[in-house]
Amino acid sequence: MGDIGELAGRLREFAAVREWEHYHTPKNLVMALAGEVGELVAEFQWLTAEESARVMDDPAAAARVRAELGDVFGYLVRLADVLGVDPVEAALDKHRENERRYDPAVYRGTYRKAPPLA
Amino acid sequence: MGDIGELAGRLREFAAVREWEHYHTPKNLVMALAGEVGELVAEFQWLTAEESARVMDDPAAAARVRAELGDVFGYLVRLADVLGVDPVEAALDKHRENERRYDPAVYRGTYRKAPPLA
Amino acid sequence: MGDIGELAGRLREFAAVREWEHYHTPKNLVMALAGEVGELVAEFQWLTAEESARVMDDPAAAARVRAELGDVFGYLVRLADVLGVDPVEAALDKHRENERRYDPAVYRGTYRKAPPLA
Amino acid sequence: MGDIGELAGRLREFAAVREWEHYHTPKNLVMALAGEVGELVAEFQWLTAEESARVMDDPAAAARVRAELGDVFGYLVRLADVLGVDPVEAALDKHRENERRYDPAVYRGTYRKAPPLA
């Protein structure tokens, strides 16, 4: 996979060269992220579960989905960079918490919300 | 930064061990992503621009923001994995497109939406 | 159905009595709306289409869905009030536009995105 | 203000005439709602708090915001209709709960999250 640190650096430079840093407050970036997620959701809203699983088989839909996912990922990495958060480490921490919350012996096959960890 | 391929692999295994793959259609994962983005937005909704820029100075707020960002990033990487998309490459492609759309000589200091590339 | 003007008035007074108007900029209210929509989405993310159609048959799920829908509706009406927009008239205008865009003879049974009106 | 029951009826008929009811599961409608909210958020993402408060002074921006708000409101009313929920009553119930949660003597001037009601 591509390198996330390089992506963060390029997005930082993109904003600096255009003198757009004043737009890139965490508040504004989280809104931009929400807006792009809305566009990604819209690609899937009328699809059945089965159609959504085959969405990448159609070249036109696949290109749109990949482009929207790229927009979402870009804003999320930019937000993480501005906040000084390593998004992979943050996700791994939540993953480790979920491994403790969701014992496979209890939750196998059926999801339901687990109580928070004590 | 942490390794995104390793994160994707762990999330894949997490779902497999719990036999939750039937939940992880692209349609469902994009909804889970939207839900987590909503929680991240909620952390910033009443903050001024200035307060949002200092949000990581408060340890309690910083922990909540980092945890929500981790949830968003995890679902986005899981979605990309299920779709077979490299999110970093998808974001870099959009970044290169934006570099061509937004000429610094024209857009310096002030954002406005550029017309799509021909 | 309940009266939307009365709801808008009560929400206006709620903010005034608490001196919270400075929080209720359109920017902040649209974020609050997005956050609440995320909570509503989360109620449906792991449900199949069929399960989602029966969600109100389960009293606990029905109460959660109704409460989240109420939160979303409240923030949307508050936002419309602050902007000076009549949300019903705005929706009816879009509805009339959609009636012209989507000729039943062409679109019956299958949705696809129509070109914008000339 | 316009009549919400009439709007719900028109949207119901719009779907019936086009035989689109099979698309209008609660799951799909909540996704459509999230997608439209993303478009509304995007109108505000780069605005300062002050600019957002004056957004309706610019006719072009005002028309876009009103149209997006209309889209959001339409999907929310359609979702409520499909679920059999009166959205005004649901919002009023949450409002009454918030009046009990947020004592003006305690919360005047400064918002912080109140504990849930016992």
Residues of B whose CB is below 8 A from D48: 49
A98-109 residue pLDDT tens: 999 999 999 999
- What is the average per-residue pLDDT within B97-103? 96
Rounded CA separation B101/B116 (Å): 7
- What is the average per-residue pLDDT within C75-79? 98
B1·A65 Cβ contact <8 A: no
C17-54 residue pLDDT tens: 999 999 999 999 999 999 999 999 999 999 999 999 99
Q: What is the CATH number of domain A4-85?
A: 1.10.287.1080
Mean pLDDT for chain B overall: 96
- What is the average per-residue pLDDT within D81-94? 98
- Between chain A and chain C, the number of residue pairs with CB atoms below 8 A apart is 13
B34-61 residue pLDDT tens: 999 999 999 999 999 999 999 999 999 9
- What is the average per-residue pLDDT within D92-97? 98
Counting Cβ atoms within 10 Å, is residue B61 exposed (0-12), middle (13-18) or buried (19+)?
A: middle
Q: What is the pLDDT of residue B116?
A: 80
- The secondary element (H helix, E strand) that includes residue B31 is helix B26-44
User: Would the pLDDT of C2 be above 70?
Assistant: no
Nearest CA in chain A to B79: A69
A17-57 residue pLDDT tens: 999 999 999 999 999 999 999 999 999 999 999 999 999 99
Of B56, B73, B99, the CB nearest to A76: B73
Residues of B whose CB is below 8 A from A2: 86-89, 91-92
Ramachandran class of B84: left when φ > 0, alpha when ψ lies in -120 to 50, beta otherwise: left
Residues of A whose CB is below 8 A from C31: 27, 30-31, 34
Distant-in-sequence, close-in-space partners of D99: CB < 8 Å, separation ≥ 6: C14
Interface test with D, best of A21, A30, A31 (most D CBs within 10 A): A31
For chain A, list the contacting chains (3+ Cβ pairs, <8 Å). B, C, D
- Angstrom CA distances, C1 to B80, C66, C84, C88, D6, stand at 43, 15, 22, 13, 10
- Between chain B and chain C, the number of residue pairs with CB atoms below 8 A apart is 47
pTM of the model: 0.97
Residues of D whose CB is below 8 A from B111: 46
A48·C49 Cβ contact <8 A: yes
Distant-in-sequence, close-in-space partners of A23: CB < 8 Å, separation ≥ 6: A15, B111, D46
Residues of D whose CB is below 8 A from A34: 37-38, 41
ipTM reported for the complex, 2 dp: 0.96
Mean pLDDT for chain C overall: 96
C33·D30 Cβ contact <8 A: no
